[in-house]
Chain A
Amino acid sequence: GQQVMQIPQYQHVQEGEDFTTYCNSSTTLSNIQWYKQRPGGHPVFLIQLVKSGEVKKQKRLTFQFGEAKKNSSLHITATQTTDVGTYFCAGGASGYNKLIFGAGTRLAVHP
């Protein structure tokens, strides 16, 4: 079945450093979504990528979708303490309604 792997599991950075999390699917995806979960909270949608090679930016966050539509990345430039949380990617396959989540990357930012 469809599997989505995400690395690293945990990342600890100093405030101001950059951060990247990577997501890889065992199958070709129709789209990939990214979510953020603050400690003690629920996942909140950040963005969706649909096109091969697509790059989207949200302020300091840059999201990429691979050319083969099997991998994706989230890069945060100059992290802030407000970036703390767990970032999940979720992949969807064409013809299927379900979204399969990666294990998430927990980001800790130290001032």
Chain B
Amino acid sequence: NAGVTQTPKFQVLKTGQSMTLQCAQDMNHEYMSWYRQDPGMGLRLIHYSVGAGITDQGEVPNGYNVSRSTTEDFPLRLLSAAPSQTSVYFCASSSRSDTTTNEKLFFGSGTQLSVL
């Protein structure tokens, strides 16, 4: 099992460029999510999905799009990159709970993104 795989590991963009951060998991997890990590601000939830075809916004969704066409993949799209989106991005997945509690998250190794 590879767990949660993120690509690329590093990326440099110019302001206005678009790109997609890839995330795939091989644990048959229904729940997947994207977080960004900035110094002093911890992990902030961008978007999440509770299953194929279902997505929802987190704390900081502006400037990002997601889709979930399969259980395995949950790509994060930056439509027009801005310097404020310079951050480390983590994808995480878990098995689905009954919503009375949460299952533990498995994180990918992260993508370090710089927007110039």
A positions within 8 Å CB-CB of B: 1, 6, 9, 30-31, 33, 35, 41-45, 48, 50, 88, 90, 92, 94-104
Contacts of B75 in A (CB 8 A): none
Residue from A45, A94, A102, A104 in contact with B100 in the complex, judged by beta carbons closer than 8 Å = A94
Contacts of A101 in B (CB 8 A): 35, 42-45
Complex: how many Å from CA A103 to CA B92? 17
Q: Are A31 and B44 in contact, CB atoms less than 8 angstroms apart? A: no
Q: Per-position contact with A for B84-114: 1 when CB-CB < 8 Å, else 0?
A: 0000001010001101111011111110000
Q: Is B74 an interface residue (CB 8 A)?
A: no
Q: How far is the CB of B1 from chain A (nearest CB, A)?
A: 16
Q: Are B102 and A44 in contact, CB atoms less than 8 angstroms apart? A: no
B positions within 8 Å CB-CB of A: 31, 33, 35, 40-45, 48, 50, 56, 58-59, 90, 92, 96-97, 99-102, 104-110
Complex: how many Å from CA A50 to CA B35? 23
Q: Which residue of B lies closest to A101 (CB)?
A: B43
Residue from A42, A98, A102 in contact with B42 in the complex, judged by beta carbons closer than 8 Å = A102
11 A-B residue contacts at CB 8 Å?
A33-B105, A42-B109, A43-B90, A43-B92, A48-B104, A95-B100, A97-B97, A99-B33, A99-B102, A101-B45, A104-B43
Complex: how many Å from CA A30 to CA B109? 28
Complex: how many Å from CA A102 to CA B37? 11
Q: Which residue of A lies closest to B4 (CB)?
A: A42
Contacts of B48 in A (CB 8 A): 97-98
Complex: how many Å from CA A98 to CA B97? 11
Q: Which residue of B lies closest to A31 (CB)?
A: B101
Contacts of A96 in B (CB 8 A): 99
Contacts of A98 in B (CB 8 A): 33, 45, 48, 56, 58
Q: Are A94 and B99 in contact, CB atoms less than 8 angstroms apart? A: yes
Residue from A43, A50, A104 in contact with B101 in the complex, judged by beta carbons closer than 8 Å = A50
A33-B104, A45-B104 known; A97+B42 contact, CB < 8 A: no
Contacts of B107 in A (CB 8 A): 42-44
Q: Are B100 and A88 in contact, CB atoms less than 8 angstroms apart? A: no
